Amino acid sequence: MSTSLFDPYKIAGLELKNRFVRSATWDGMADELGAVTDASVALYRKLGKGGVGLIISGYAFVSPVGQAAYGQYGAHTNDMIPGLSRLVQAVHQGGAKIALQLVHAGINSNYLHHRGITALVVSSMREIGRPHREMTEEDIEVTVSDFASAAVRAREAGFDAIQLHGAHGYLMSQFLSPLYNFRTDRWGASAENRRRFHLEVIRRIRNVVGTDFPLMIKFGVQDDDERGLSLEEGLEMAQKMFKPGIDAIEVSAGIGVAVRVLKKSDPEQVYFRDRAAAVKRAVTVPVMLVGGIRSLEMAKSIVDSRDADLISMCRPFIREPDLVSRWQRGDKEPARCISCNKCFTAVVKGEPLECEQLKRNSMDRLGEP
């Protein structure tokens, strides 16, 4: 039976108006302290009005030593709560729900290096030249507490849910992957021990926010390196996260894969569909799929085949914040995003997050160079 992508859908009691999710997207609009700015609020207001059911914020660092990039939102101090509340209000005014994504970068941060800060890492790695030191037991305990404290701030700020960033090579990925975790204590040395950090963070957050606040994870279920996390072990991790309190899983990349850059003529490529389908068969919680989805037809195929429950997109909403509304109005042309990746290049340069291709086309029409 065909499923309507525009019907309401629930995640642990949180009702979304449809099955579309705006995946967490770094916009580089926070100030130098990590606080929300007027530009941030304007962006999220536009997204909230665009028809998407759930918006996941750009990643917010839980500790200054866990910051990944400049312009990144912070959830590390109570001073951040008023600004984060502004994001929530802007999104709610448009009829969408919003989750705060929480992250600790670990070794995956050039920002700390440029600030002269020594990164905390799961295991020391000679091949990484940036200053870093292996986390002690006390460091790990503090970091787990930092995640829990940030989760409390998210709830106080009015967010509808939390998402942990357990993908893309950040600290949670580093603990889980044998590519980064060489520890011989209770946080490493075996698959069971490498899973411990995830489970402790989930338990601690669940203890402080209660049972009625949705807790999700963006999860790199497999590393793209044969020496790294296998799909089999990733699926075991996905199953074990349910008991301590995970309510939904967004399937994404682990360690070793970059965002794809496609040509306009390339066919639609849904990068992690097979992995999401495997997770969907292994767990009972809702599964989101992100990566390469560009058409309503493909989105329906994914949900109708039960490879995933929700459709998550990132770059298409940079070019078309109202994409879901357009589709719902009956204009079923694929997303105008061509996956050129120039939007992210702009942010790296410190420029506003916007579709560079769209901006260039507009200049061409105006006769500008």
Both structure tokens of 74: 């912070």
**Residues forming beta bridges with residue 215, ordered by sequence position:** 162
111 annotated active-site = no
The H or E element that residue 61 is part of is: strand 60-61
Q: Round to whole Å and give the CA distance between 335 and 114.
A: 37
Both structure tokens of 245: 């309190």
Options 9, 44, 73, 170, the catalytic residue: 170
**In sequence order, what are the residues at sequence separation of 6 or more whose Cβ sits closer than 8 angstroms to the Cβ of residue 212?**
12, 13
CA 250 centroid distance within chain = 8
Question: Is residue 151 a contact partner of residue 10, using CB atoms and an 8 Å limit?
Answer: no
Both structure tokens of 308: 């995933």
**In sequence order, what are the residues at sequence separation of 6 or more whose Cβ sits closer than 8 angstroms to the Cβ of residue 54?**
11, 16, 20, 21, 22, 96, 97, 98, 99, 160, 161, 310
H-type alpha helices, the chain: 38-48, 81-93, 110-114, 137-157, 171-176, 191-194, 196-209, 231-240, 273-282, 296-304, 315-319, 323-328, 342-348, 356-366
Both structure tokens of 45: 């207001």
First to last CA, the chain: 51
Q: Round to whole Å and give the CA distance between 281 and 270.
A: 18
Q: Where does residue 133 rank: exposed (0-12), middle (13-18), buried (19+ CB within 10 A)? A: exposed
DSSP letter at 151 equals H
In this structure, are strands 60-61 and 73-74 parallel, antiparallel, or unpaired? parallel
Question: Is residue 248 a contact partner of residue 276, using CB atoms and an 8 Å limit?
Answer: no
Query: What positions carry a catalytic annotation?
Result: 170
